[in-house]
């Protein structure tokens, strides 16, 4: 369990960090007040002095990620000169946010997308939809200028981007390793752009 530099944080921030870590390493079923409290050396009841419900903790974790991701996507589009550069900037920014939040949100995205809870469902699907929309717009631009294959459906490609990151989190989670989720961003981006075949 990565708990480096946890001391200097407030209890509320610690709850969020530990909570995210639990979601990734142990799964939503272990995301309980008692589990978090035990790791912090307090009681479960104390959790509710900082958050009014367990759902509220999850909402804050998601909110942080979504706002950072959306922001950096906008910046990528502004700063990139070519389509390829835009996509690359977008992916690299996304990877940074992903590493910073230890992959918690893609995990939540998956686990909560089927939740009966309308609150989670709408927040996450709105995020995915708007992110997908941003990417498809770049893809369409690339198809117009001839750098991206015309026979691909832009929305499918956008989902392939999101899915590829999701897949990396999956591999990371399954491997049980510590350290970075995407060890070699260059290779990751290269496979997405040009595949695995030499041609």
Partner DNA sequence: AAGCTAAGTTAGTTATACCTAACCTGAGGG
Partner DNA sequence: CCCTCAGGTTAGGTATAACTAACTTAGCTT
Q: Classify residue 42 as left (phi > 0), alpha (psi -120 to 50) or beta.
A: beta
CB 133 within 8 A of CB 121: no
| Shortest distance in whole angstroms from residue 45 CB to DNA | 3
| Shortest distance in whole angstroms from residue 65 CB to DNA | 21
Binding part of the chain for its own copies, among 7-15, 44-52, 61-69, 169-177 by CB under 8 A, reads 169-177
Cα–Cα distance between 25 and 20 in angstroms, integer? Answer: 9
| Shortest distance in whole angstroms from residue 59 CB to its own copies | 17
Site for DNA in 48-87 (CB under 7 A): 48-50, 52-55
For residue 61, count CB atoms less than 10 angstroms from its CB and return exposed for 0-12, middle for 13-18, buried for 19 or more: buried
Is 45 near DNA (CB under 7 A)? yes
Is 134 near its own copies (CB under 8 A)? no
| Shortest distance in whole angstroms from residue 48 CB to DNA | 4
Is 194 near DNA (CB under 7 A)? no
DSSP 29: G
Is 173 near its own copies (CB under 8 A)? yes
Q: Classify residue 53 as left (phi > 0), alpha (psi -120 to 50) or beta.
A: beta
Read off the tokens for 127.
């995020």
Cα–Cα distance between 83 and 27 in angstroms, integer? Answer: 37
Is 193 near its own copies (CB under 8 A)? yes
The CA distances from residue 145 to 38, 104, 152, 188, 193, in Å, are: 56, 36, 14, 24, 16
Is 117 near DNA (CB under 7 A)? no
Is 8 near DNA (CB under 7 A)? no
Q: Which residues would be at the binding site for DNA (CB under 7 A)?
A: 10-11, 31-35, 37, 41-46, 48-50, 52-55
Q: Which residues would be at the binding site for its own copies (CB under 8 A)?
A: 24-30, 84, 109-116, 124-125, 128, 139, 146-149, 151-153, 156-157, 159-160, 162-164, 166-168, 170-171, 173-174, 176, 184, 187, 191-199
């Amino acid at each position: 369990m990565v708990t480096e530099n946890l001391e200097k944080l407030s209890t509320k921030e610690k709850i969020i960090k530990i909570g995210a870590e639990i979601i990734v390493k142990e799964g939503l079923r272990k995301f309980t007040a008692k589990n978090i409290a035990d790791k912090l050396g307090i009681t479960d009841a104390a959790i509710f002095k900082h958050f009014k419900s367990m759902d509220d903790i999850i909402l804050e974790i998601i909110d942080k990620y979504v706002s950072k991701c959306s922001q950096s996507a906008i910046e990528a589009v502004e700063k990139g000169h070519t389509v390829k550069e835009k996509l690359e900037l977008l992916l690299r920014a996304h990877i940074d946010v992903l590493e910073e939040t230890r992959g918690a949100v893609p995990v939540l995205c998956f686990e909560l997308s089927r939740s009966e809870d309308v609150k989670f469902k709408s927040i996450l699907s709105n995020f995915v939809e708007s992110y997908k929309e941003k990417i498809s717009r770049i893809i369409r631009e690339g198809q117009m200028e001839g750098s991206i294959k015309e026979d691909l459906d832009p929305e499918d490609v956008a989902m392939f981007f999101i899915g590829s990151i999701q897949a990396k989190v999956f591999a990371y989670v399954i491997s049980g390793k510590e350290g970075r989720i995407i060890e070699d961003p260059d290779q990751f981006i290269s496979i997405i752009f040009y595949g695995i075949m030499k041609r």
